Chain A
Amino acid sequence: MTGANGVALEIRGLSKAYAPGRPVLHGIDLAVEGRGITAVIGPSGTGKSTLIRCINRLVEPSAGEIRLHGQDLARLRGRALRLARRRIGMVFQEYNLVERLSVMENVLSGRLGYVPLWRAWLRRYPERDIARAFALLDAVGLPEHATRRADALSGGQRQRVGIARALMQEPELLLADEPTSSLDPKTSVEIMELIATLCGEAGIPVIVNIHNVPLAKRFARRIIGMAGGRIVFDGPPEALEEHHLVQIYGGEEWL
């Protein structure tokens, strides 16, 4: 992995247009360091989610480079793309767990990119993976829930499983797409705290899309403000002032 001050992810000239001639992202340039949380804020429909999904290619970028430790992810296809995705964990707004599987199986599915298919089929995951899954369940505060079905959990518990699944990949980068938007304020803070602690300990840089500006300021080392598919603010949370928020979200009455 990269040293503490090295650049982990470098994005250059990233553009995306879902329909020709109507770009959602206009030539984004962004370099993310090897540790800490980078929060992306901005109004709905401004391309935050598209930006994050371009990084692990859940969305195909139209132009530009996305370099993870030097490797250009935007050019990868097939097996090479799959191997690159193993290095990037992702946490979703709607948790995206497989509802009918147990918590343990959901966490272990973070290893599907690594284990042979027959092991997954027979549920014969390597000892090391199972030990790690138990350790992660302890870390996210669900030590008793390994055998429960995912659809029996509350929203906050599901997101904890989602975090454990993403960390199961031993990723070099964690992407979080609105991880707290479906949760109540208290649980939101707990989830952000969990991401900050676990990724801080493991030295995994995090890019998180977030609607809640105070929450972003509280946990992020760096804030990226987006408006109209462009980066309009980039700096530490202390530097984010009211006129920046007006620039990002528009209007003033809400402030």
Chain B
Amino acid sequence: MSDGVAVRRDPAAPLLREWTRFTPRQRLARFAIWLGIVAALVWSVRTIEIIPEFLADAPEQMADLLIRMWPPDLRYYPDAVHAALVETIHIATLGTILCFAFAVPIALLASRIITPVPALNAFAQLLLVSSRSVNTLVWALVFVAIFGPGAAAGVMAVAFRSIGFVGKLLAEALDETANGPIEALRASGAPWGAVMLKGYWPQVQPAFWGIALFRWDINVRESAVLGLVGAGGIGVVLDDALNFFQWDRAATVLLAIFAVVILAEIVVTRIRARLI
């Protein structure tokens, strides 16, 4: 077809064709982005004002702390740490369960295919973002003010921080469901509830349990520090130990947290492997 024409125009044309990954414009944009990253790095290092003397004797301080922590005061575990540890796990578990009561309806509102109303999607997203934008410790401060110090405030703090995380991931899972089965159920005259139950739920089920376990795992870690602001759990014991400079007891608490986090990780990984 056009081969003949091309040959007549310039016999070497096919050999002179050039290929470049980026257009000059793209190359410029990429350079600008790299420049931006380096500038941000320099700016942030200058802002945090590292004091060289403190940096220099940090290893010494660290060694000193570790020596004071060693050996951990393990007798302290049955006296005070164990009960607090169990309370921590309870806070994480109750908080995770409570969070779903709020997160599921908000996720349904946030999902564009379940709620095809942009204004409601935006409203739900706003709720989710505001839940996420406040740290668990800050939520705990708020709820300690409302409920007084103790585990109840911790449960509420964990639940409210989790809503944003769980709601966002659930909404994404809902938006990623296949439309075909949904269409088939609608075509058979199934009501909305039945479409949710037999069309969407089986599709998001693995994601749902995955998210629940993952969040519980995170919440175990988060609720370990809640005691620092008086919201119950093992953090209270850690706070006391630190305030009285009982480093060997603090070490026991840290070891207990470490053990629980590892255990939670193992349990979650096992169950997740079975779910999928």
Chain A interface residues (CB < 8 Å from chain B): 56, 58, 82-90, 92, 94-101, 105, 109-110, 112-113, 117, 120-121, 162, 165-166, 169
Nearest 6 interchain pairs by C-beta:
A113-B189, A86-B189, A112-B190, A85-B189, A96-B180, A96-B184
User: Given known contacts A101-B198, A109-B198, is B184 in contact with A92 (CB within 8 Å)?
Assistant: yes
Residues of B within 8 A of A101 (CB): 198, 202
Contact of B188 among A90, A94, A120 (CB under 8 A): A90
Of all chain B residues, which has the CB nearest A119?
B194
Can you add 11 more A-B contacts, CB < 8 Å, to A82-B190, A85-B186, A94-B180?
A85-B187, A88-B187, A95-B180, A97-B184, A105-B198, A112-B185, A112-B191, A113-B189, A117-B194, A120-B194, A166-B188
- Asked whether, in the complex, the Cβ of A112 is within 8 Å of the Cβ of B198, the reply is yes
Of all chain B residues, which has the CB nearest A94?
B180
User: Given known contacts A112-B190, A117-B191, is B202 in contact with A98 (CB within 8 Å)?
Assistant: yes
Query: Could you tell me the distance in whole angstroms from the C-beta of B178 to the nearest C-beta in chain A?
Result: 8
Q: What's the Cα separation between A90 and B180 when bound, in Å?
A: 12
Let me know if B50 is at the binding interface, CB within 8 A. no
Count B-side interface residues using an 8 Å CB cutoff: 22
Let me know if B5 is at the binding interface, CB within 8 A. no
Contact of A100 among B193, B194, B205 (CB under 8 A): B205
Let me know if B240 is at the binding interface, CB within 8 A. no
- Asked whether, in the complex, the Cβ of B205 is within 8 Å of the Cβ of A90, the reply is no
Q: Which residues B4-33 have CB closer than 8 A to chain A?
A: none
Of all chain A residues, which has the CB nearest B181?
A98
Let me know if B203 is at the binding interface, CB within 8 A. yes
Contact of A92 among B180, B189, B193 (CB under 8 A): B180
Contact of A113 among B180, B191, B202, B203 (CB under 8 A): B191
Let me know if B183 is at the binding interface, CB within 8 A. yes
Let me know if B197 is at the binding interface, CB within 8 A. yes
- Asked whether, in the complex, the Cβ of A112 is within 8 Å of the Cβ of B188, the reply is yes
Task: Give per-residue flags for B194-233: 1 if the beta carbon is below 8 A from chain A beta carbons, else 0.
Answer: 1101110011011000000000000000000000000000
Task: Give per-residue flags for B109-122: 1 if the beta carbon is below 8 A from chain A beta carbons, else 0.
Answer: 00000000000000
Of all chain B residues, which has the CB nearest A105?
B198
Query: Could you tell me the distance in whole angstroms from the C-beta of B186 to the nearest C-beta in chain A?
Result: 7
Task: Give per-residue flags for B71-100: 1 if the beta carbon is below 8 A from chain A beta carbons, else 0.
Answer: 000000000000000000000000000000
Q: What's the Cα separation between A88 and B190 when bound, in Å?
A: 12
- Asked whether, in the complex, the Cβ of A56 is within 8 Å of the Cβ of B187, the reply is yes
- Asked whether, in the complex, the Cβ of B203 is within 8 Å of the Cβ of A82, the reply is no
- Asked whether, in the complex, the Cβ of A98 is within 8 Å of the Cβ of B186, the reply is no
Residues of A within 8 A of B180 (CB): 92, 94-96
Q: What's the Cα separation between A97 and B185 when bound, in Å?
A: 9
Contact of B193 among A56, A117, A162 (CB under 8 A): A117
Of all chain B residues, which has the CB nearest A93?
B180
User: Given known contacts A92-B184, A96-B181, is B189 in contact with A83 (CB within 8 Å)?
Assistant: yes
Residues of B within 8 A of A58 (CB): 183, 186-187
- Asked whether, in the complex, the Cβ of B197 is within 8 Å of the Cβ of A117, the reply is yes
10 interchain pairs, CB-CB under 8 A: A92-B180, A94-B180, A96-B180, A96-B184, A100-B202, A100-B206, A112-B188, A120-B197, A120-B198, A165-B184
Residues of A within 8 A of B181 (CB): 96-99
Q: What's the Cα separation between A166 and B184 when bound, in Å?
A: 9
Of all chain A residues, which has the CB nearest B196?
A117
- Asked whether, in the complex, the Cβ of A169 is within 8 Å of the Cβ of B183, the reply is no
Q: What's the Cα separation between A117 and B191 when bound, in Å?
A: 8
Q: What's the Cα separation between A36 and B198 when bound, in Å?
A: 32
Q: What's the Cα separation between A54 and B186 when bound, in Å?
A: 13
Q: What's the Cα separation between A78 and B206 when bound, in Å?
A: 31
Residues of A within 8 A of B193 (CB): 117
Contact of B189 among A84, A95, A96 (CB under 8 A): A84
- Asked whether, in the complex, the Cβ of A86 is within 8 Å of the Cβ of B188, the reply is yes
Query: Could you tell me the distance in whole angstroms from the C-beta of A166 to the nearest C-beta in chain B?
Result: 8
